[in-house]
Amino acid sequence: MVLDLRIDKNKEEPAYFQIYEQIRNLITSGALKGESKLPSIRSLSSALGVNTITVVTAYNMLEKDRFVYKRQGSGTFVISRGEDLLLNSEQPMYFEPGELDMENEYDDDYIDFSISAPDPKLFSVKDFRQVMNEVLEEDGARAFMYQRSVGYTPLRNALVDYAREYGINCCAEDIYVVSGAQQGIDIIAKALVKSGDCVFVELPTYSGALAAFKSRGAKLVEVPLNDDGPGIKELERLVRLFKPVLFYAMPNFHNPTGSIYSVRKKKYMLLLAKKYDFRILEDDYSGDLNYTDSKLLPIKAYDNNDRVIYLKSFSKIFMPGFRLAYMAIPEDIRRKAADAKIASDISTSGLMQRILCKYIEKGILEKHVTYLRKEFSVRYLEMVRAIKKTIRGAKFFEPKGGLNLWINLPDEVNSQELYENCREKKVIFSPGTFYFNDEKGQGYMRMSFAATNIDEIWEGLSIIGNEAEKLKHKY
Amino acid sequence: MVLDLRIDKNKEEPAYFQIYEQIRNLITSGALKGESKLPSIRSLSSALGVNTITVVTAYNMLEKDRFVYKRQGSGTFVISRGEDLLLNSEQPMYFEPGELDMENEYDDDYIDFSISAPDPKLFSVKDFRQVMNEVLEEDGARAFMYQRSVGYTPLRNALVDYAREYGINCCAEDIYVVSGAQQGIDIIAKALVKSGDCVFVELPTYSGALAAFKSRGAKLVEVPLNDDGPGIKELERLVRLFKPVLFYAMPNFHNPTGSIYSVRKKKYMLLLAKKYDFRILEDDYSGDLNYTDSKLLPIKAYDNNDRVIYLKSFSKIFMPGFRLAYMAIPEDIRRKAADAKIASDISTSGLMQRILCKYIEKGILEKHVTYLRKEFSVRYLEMVRAIKKTIRGAKFFEPKGGLNLWINLPDEVNSQELYENCREKKVIFSPGTFYFNDEKGQGYMRMSFAATNIDEIWEGLSIIGNEAEKLKHKY
């Protein structure tokens, strides 16, 4: 093939950079399609009247930046779908309005389907007060001192047993306590991701994770999800092309889609991670909120090769205000993760860690999770019924667990517009545009039932249903 | 001058890279001294038989990596002292043993001069319990929900008045609440420092800050400190050479040296920051622990050009277990800092923020700080007396504030050796080796009196004094 490239000798940039830049622009503008073959080094250098080394340098830069790849013996090719998959790191971030920028004060007026943290009414302040008093009686002001950065030892011990309940076998040294799951993601990004490294994320995914990886200068590749996880063939192709260092995944009750990786895909992920030498950061934010009798294990439970960093938030089953999560970390990256934790905030509140420890040791947490599971399962069923009844034409996967439903809206209804109209009526949810970087998000909404009771579910959804109907007839 | 460089055409690396690498090696090995002039582009390209653009590219890379600088009209020069000042980012980090990796459980046996957080005995659990109960009565479980990432609004309002007491005029929108000062440093590093950017730090300095900047891939330049701040001429020279984006400083009761920037130097820092367009991250970890009657203002109080990000920890005057600090942030970087906070941990515990808010509003914090100041000033004086009496030949600056003394040990006493011998006798402190990357640290120790009472000060120091004498007579 012939490319229309020019070298301008009056320009300050060296020739190799001019070549790199022009080819890159052809790729990003779409003029050069995926899998097209670039001219051979010899032919391009003679066409441009430059040294072959100049062209080699330009091609190497393109390869390093993952615009092209080399096929042994057959030349250099444009990476296909690179335009769709590589997230632009300059793009502004969108955060879920409910979780990330909410002040409780003005909250009560709204029916809020955006926040996926438990209804405060489900949390017993009495239990908390009692546990807190016990901690203060035992440890006094010592509870307010600095802690070991990896966590309060008795809590780490308690978490070993806790993790075993979910199929995870580890020792206390594997367990790190962190100040919430977002910090866990940030710490792993610091420990494993250097500028220019490639990180795989699910499409769509949790925007807070994207923020942490982008902040490290990572290149993000989005992996489309089916109801049972990513397509296997496509995933392996992408892994081969992009050589990720990390795959950030929510295999059980994925946020926002609710999808659940099949056991086969969970095991396949582990195989790939071993074969292509990357890690999986498994964000198990709500795998314990399973409303069926069938067992659902995290990928970590199948991991025999230290591929998985397991991350478990307590924000969904305890309360987010504690800012507590834990990680089970493979031995060879413990040191790096510990350094990253120290650089992040030295240590997590010793008081909060002591409180969680007592909740676990006394069995209060287990009872609380059982209570939440029952309460949420009722809300889940009611939510499914209410959506079917009120939003005509909506399609959605029924995960039978977690805290969200991911609604594919009827074609005529734009989720951003629906969001704005409903907000005026004091009903809010998360429009799909918070999860996609392009117009795909306009067809989706995430509905959480964590902070809404049954009356609110029906009241809120009848308003949403009405507004959706109005939009259908607007045009 | 003539350089003995060679281009090997059989090598895979392009010529410009070979030139870059060889000159870099000459500089780092010391063969090319600071301020030596590199050959002109024309002469080097003809000597090597390469295009001038090749040499230009190599020189540009050297400049970008801060090995050389260009002087308008006179050529390219090696940056002097680069070898001494640029910290090697591969170097392992050293953390203060007391603060960063301590478990309270085994703490009581030791007399601990390493920890610079207040003695838990000085903290009233009764006050805390009362404030906590008031918060729970007013807000119930709502106190455990997510917060706005920039902070709990009533606390931000209270902090505006609080900051004014220390000469800082700002509005609530300038105030961000963070989970401890370490997180504040990490957030500013995320917001302002890209890989390869240059950050100035004091020599010696707080190792947690180095960890945060290194994690961003920053190039660190160490600025030597006198008792009244950095040398002005030397500082401007370094600023011109390295073009920092940020200067991390502790101008009042510096950690570990206790030095205090003079007002003249505080103002000069602001002038430089304006002239050369960098920011100052002012870590005011203990400026409020001033044991004299003379007023001591932070740099921020003199800042009329939005140069200073002010960071105030509550770990030294409240308790570290709360994990609370606040920042006063110039308007133009608020957005970046807010994004970095979200990516770090979404928000700081709403419960802890409410508690601090009540402590401030009810005047309990002010009373507590007054009490601590009195208590610490007694310990300070006792510590000064005890050191003079027990460690013969020790020299130290008397800051009349803060929580530490920085002791220059007699020549025959190696601080690392002293540390190990004292540790066996259950007395610990921070050897100077935690603050320097080279042997300089062996002559110093940091002695904190925050967590030791008067009896412990005398008992601990008599042990340290004895061990120091033994070391003097060992050789």
pLDDT at B85 over 60: no
Please answer yes or no on whether B342 and A182 come within 8 Å at the CB atom: yes
Write out chain A residues lying below 8 Å of B20, CB-based: none
pLDDT at B243 over 90: yes
Using a CB–CB cutoff of 8 Å, tell me whether B231 touches chain A: no
| Closest approach of B3 to chain A, Cα-based (Å) | 23
Q: Which chain A residue lies closest to B188 (C-alpha atoms)?
A: A344
Please answer yes or no on whether A136 and B123 come within 8 Å at the CB atom: no
Using a CB–CB cutoff of 8 Å, tell me whether B89 touches chain A: no
CA A325 distance to own-chain centroid: 15
Strand ordering across the sheet containing A246-249: A175-178, A325-328, A308-313, A279-283, A246-249, A198-203, A219-226, A229-230
| Closest approach of A263 to chain B, Cα-based (Å) | 31
Using a CB–CB cutoff of 8 Å, tell me whether B390 touches chain A: no
Q: Which chain A residue lies closest to B193 (C-alpha atoms)?
A: A215
> What backbone phi and psi angles, to 5 degrees, belong to B416?
-70, -40
Write out chain A residues lying below 8 Å of B58, CB-based: none
Please answer yes or no on whether B93 and A339 come within 8 Å at the CB atom: yes
pLDDT at A416 over 60: yes
pLDDT of residue A75: 86
At A88, list the tokens: 């632009």
pLDDT of residue A273: 97
pLDDT of residue A95: 43
> What backbone phi and psi angles, to 5 degrees, belong to A388?
-60, -35
Which range, of A224-228, B170-174, B435-439, averages the lowest pLDDT? B435-439
Q: Strand (E) positions, A227-358?
A: 229-230, 246-249, 279-283, 308-313, 325-328
Residue A113's closest CA among A473, A459, A467, A469?
A: A459
Q: Which amino acid is at B220?
A: L
Higher pLDDT, A318 or A2: A318
| Closest approach of A119 to chain B, Cα-based (Å) | 9
Model confidence at B104, in pLDDT bands (50, 70, 90)?
very low
Model confidence at A102, in pLDDT bands (50, 70, 90)?
very low
Which range, of A264-278, B259-273, B433-447, averages the lowest pLDDT? B433-447
DSSP string computed for B312-331:
EESTTTS-GGG--EEEE--G
pLDDT at A407 over 70: yes
Tell me where in chain A the CATH 1.10.10.10 domain(s) lie: 15-80
The pLDDT tens digits for A26-69 are 887 777 877 788 998 888 988 898 888 889 889 988 887 777 88
Using a CB–CB cutoff of 8 Å, tell me whether B259 touches chain A: no
Residue B110's closest CA among B431, B423, B474?
A: B423
Using a CB–CB cutoff of 8 Å, tell me whether B137 touches chain A: no
Closest Cβ–Cβ partner in A102, A215, A351 for B190: A215
Report the residue of B94, B130, B349, B452 to disrupt the A interface, i.e. the one with the largest count of A CBs within 10 Å: B349
Tell me where in chain B the CATH 3.90.1150.10 domain(s) lie: 97-116+366-472
- Write down the CATH number for the domain with range B97-116+366-472: 3.90.1150.10
Range A15-80: architecture per CATH: Orthogonal Bundle (1.10)
pLDDT of residue A89: 39
Would you tell me which CATH number, out of the four given (3.30.70.1140, 3.30.360.10, 3.90.1150.10, 3.30.450.30), belongs to the domain A97-121+370-472? 3.90.1150.10
pLDDT of residue B34: 75
pLDDT of residue B101: 43
Tell me where in chain A the CATH 3.40.640.10 domain(s) lie: 124-365
Tell me where in chain B the CATH 3.40.640.10 domain(s) lie: 125-362
Q: What percent of chain B has pLDDT over 90?
A: 69
pLDDT of residue B2: 63
Domain topology for B125-362 = Aspartate Aminotransferase; domain 2 (3.40.640)
3-state secondary structure of B203: strand
C-alpha gyration radius of chain A: 25
The pLDDT tens digits for B343-387 are 999 999 999 999 999 999 999 999 999 999 999 999 999 999 999
Could you count the other beta carbons within 10 Å of the beta carbon of residue A91?
A: 11
| Closest approach of A28 to chain B, Cα-based (Å) | 24
Domain topology for A124-365 = Aspartate Aminotransferase; domain 2 (3.40.640)
Q: What percent of chain A has pLDDT over 90?
A: 69
Please answer yes or no on whether B145 and A321 come within 8 Å at the CB atom: yes
pLDDT of residue A94: 40
Within 326-355 of A, beta carbons closer than 8 Å to B belong to 339-340, 342-352
pLDDT at B111 over 70: yes
According to DSSP, the β-strands at A175-178 and A325-328 are: antiparallel
pLDDT of residue A37: 87
Using a CB–CB cutoff of 8 Å, tell me whether B199 touches chain A: no
